[in-house]
Structure 1
């Protein structure tokens, strides 16, 4: 995993402290070194998820049959506001452990349930309790970003976290397209504090080309901006993203199932826009980037075939290769979060790496094409060893010094609280919520009533 995407058979990787000290065949083993036998397996950089609503993991699988509209109803309009700081903590704790277990060594916590600083501190405490690498992307869907970002408490909180190694910091908010641009103050705060912004863009009906144009015209599209989904945008918007150097976090399973638009990697490749991968939320899907890689490669190839068939043509050579998708799950994520020291297996880089090896699995041999094997054959159960910042956090398929029982206890308390708060009827209905008639469904934000012809009309 370097610029040449080399495959090194029978090679060794030497880790000293928090860095990769050497990569090569037959390396000398310093006295006292812990040795891990990787024969019959694949050593690769840890994967990086650039967009996951970790606080929602307490509701794992609850919204399996939701549309995006139903997700908005449940979390934005009805029940997201009842989550307490301890519920944010519970979801983050379980999600963070899940990341480590699945070989995701860095996860961006797109934390848009932070209604108060206490909620934010609870999220941070959970992330710090797990030996992984995380980025807290601070957001609050219950309030205008121009409001929550303008408080002295937020500035103080952000200043205390910005620039961290194992825990980074971003701002997370969306742009509705309202010509009054109520999100401007939040962008100005991000600029003042030197923070990156991650935003849901190109979400069918909710955030459109109008949103991108507002950001562009006001000078808020930067190389560090991450556009999540970007699945319902015009060529003009893709050109603006490309021209300003931003990247896109693609959540293929989400886009396929929830309705943001067709997974856009086929369009992003055409505009040479950098790509990273993400899993969105465990209220629907898992925190497993093997699934993200597999679904992304399949969706892109499906689109390529369909476009060719429209012109009575046949695709004879696939444009998107397995090695490129593995790169998006590693180096692509590192680029998106501005960490050139992550995402590749090279001397001097941070020692965030994983070993995919499962001697008990008939699907783990033979390994003929390592990139293809990672995408189409391997799965989270095949993660043998995980090293983060030079520390072994999983070995022999078992987590190391991670308290899963405590996480289970916190989750049980949160689920009990939510069920009792909603009541049995609302709890059952929540898995298939009704659609209210009093709110514009494709603008779930309550701080603006803006509508446009790209949504349901004026």
Structure 2
């Protein structure tokens, strides 16, 4: 017999628990199971099925009326920027470059990176994002890297630090002795809860100096994540350089990939690369049209990401919804331009939920451990259940319900690596107040360094007229450029 768990305090590391009576979306060959159970023992999923027999003393979670899914995987989030949440809500990408890359990047301290990471990490697990790649491009020295890691270690999520420095040349910092010491200190042994990648861009300089950064990644055995296909910043030139040099492999994730030509997409497909799609970012900032519409034609695996909360929220339901809608919108518009009508949508809700789970796992090289609900995989699980929400009844089409009906307020239980970090809609042992205080201190400092005039101008930028903005990658030449035009 099992015991019902009425309170979060009854969860312990050595006590099994089981989700009972849920609609279970496995994201594997079992598909969707109605009125099914998921048993967790230790760090792992022990069984998935109907009316499971469980060990004596197993705690029960009543999941009836809810949907159990794999934890969401965000493959690209600038977590440190969460401390300035919403500050750039009216920005285009050019203003982002001006604020961080050209004007104020040097203002931020290690403690500011720490505060932003802490808030973002807490928000991740709170909203069902059990794995997040921190595209941490504000790490000017290893001291900044240590601050980023410290924050991620304090939150019980699964994280990958994408180490980057947008103010420095990647071929230099990736080969510097102090960076190698940082890697040796923190990543000398495997840790499933904390991974490392190199995060840098290729702006298209004729001599391809980023070769040295790719060689560093190869030497260290690290995957690479890079912003590709960003209009006016990282172009097809970069893809050609990477391809010709032999650095395009399955270990590279191309973020956005929203404004590439057919040849570039073909190269990504042929070399086994993956794409991280950040639809709300691409729609608003202007990297290009969200790329699922293009890459699915080439069979390129996609994952989803939120990019940065300096603009948008960290709501992964919003990411799924926006992605499906943008893809379908483009399909319809293209058909209408040909005088035709779409009679069945090609991209389905199941496809987008797969991007949010298994797609992310594949992009991070973790598909053998996370991304689906199968015995032997790590227990990264989300229960979507809210008995008082009109939007949670009835559940007829589970994939579409997760994508188009559910929201963050419906995240009932979150499990990371077998640990219950949220139950009955409340985080366990993770109060907001200490994090909020650290973020408030960081905001106060940054605002004081800018001064009130620059702070206000940064938040409410004027619309420029025929103004060219310099290459934001100040450490190199290339074809990165932004030319502003007055908007009617």
Q: Which TM class, normalised by the smaller chain length?
A: over 0.9
Whether 1:334 and 2:354 are equivalent positions in the alignment is no
Q: Provide the residue aligned with 2:375 in structure 1.
A: 347
Whether 1:441 and 2:466 are equivalent positions in the alignment is no
Whether 1:416 and 2:444 are equivalent positions in the alignment is yes
> Which residues of structure 2 form unaligned runs of 5+?
1-25, 484-488
Cα deviation, residue 433, structure 1: 3.6
Structure 2 matches for 1:269-308, cutoff 5 A?
269-308=296-335
- Cα distance in 1 for partners of 2:462, 2:176 equals 35
Match of 2:352 among 309, 325, 341: 325
Whether 1:188 and 2:246 are equivalent positions in the alignment is no
Whether 1:203 and 2:219 are equivalent positions in the alignment is no
Taking a change above 3 Å as real, the CA distance of residues 158 and 436 of structure 1, as seen in their structure-2 partners, is: farther
- Cα distance in 2 for partners of 1:362, 1:89 equals 38
> Which residues of structure 1 form unaligned runs of 5+?
none
Q: Does the CA-based 8 Å contact 1:137-1:171 persist in structure 2? A: yes
Q: Provide the residue aligned with 1:152 in structure 2.
A: 177
Q: Does the CA-based 8 Å contact 2:125-2:421 persist in structure 1? A: yes
Whether 1:86 and 2:111 are equivalent positions in the alignment is yes
- Cα distance in 1 for partners of 2:453, 2:30 equals 54
Cα deviation, residue 442, structure 1: 6.3
Cα deviation, residue 404, structure 1: 1.4
Q: Does the CA-based 8 Å contact 2:233-2:479 persist in structure 1? A: no
Cα deviation, residue 224, structure 1: 1.2
SS of alignment partner, residue 206 of structure 2? coil
Q: Does the CA-based 8 Å contact 2:27-2:371 persist in structure 1? A: no
Q: Provide the residue aligned with 1:62 in structure 2.
A: 87
Deviations 1:375-420 (A, max 9, x none): 0000011000000000000001000111311100100100110111
Q: Provide the residue aligned with 2:18 in structure 1.
A: none
Cα deviation, residue 430, structure 1: 0.8
Cα deviation, residue 182, structure 1: 1.6
Q: Does the CA-based 8 Å contact 2:255-2:276 persist in structure 1? A: yes
- Cα distance in 1 for partners of 2:85, 2:435 equals 14
Higher RCO, 1 or 2 (CA under 8 Å, sep at least 6)?
Answer: 1
- Cα distance in 2 for partners of 1:440, 1:228 equals 25
Structure 2 matches for 1:6-405, cutoff 5 A?
6-159=31-184, 160-161=186-187, 163-340=190-367, 341-405=369-433
- Cα distance in 2 for partners of 1:178, 1:286 equals 34
Taking a change above 3 Å as real, the CA distance of residues 158 and 435 of structure 1, as seen in their structure-2 partners, is: farther
- Cα distance in 2 for partners of 1:157, 1:374 equals 40
- Cα distance in 1 for partners of 2:477, 2:221 equals 30
Cα deviation, residue 440, structure 1: 6.0
Cα deviation, residue 212, structure 1: 0.3
Cα deviation, residue 441, structure 1: 2.7
- Cα distance in 2 for partners of 1:148, 1:432 equals 34
- Cα distance in 1 for partners of 2:370, 2:479 equals 41
- TM-score using structure 1 length: 0.97
- TM-score using structure 2 length: 0.91
Structure richer in strand, relative to its length: 2
SS of alignment partner, residue 121 of structure 1? helix
RMSD over aligned CA atoms reads 1.6
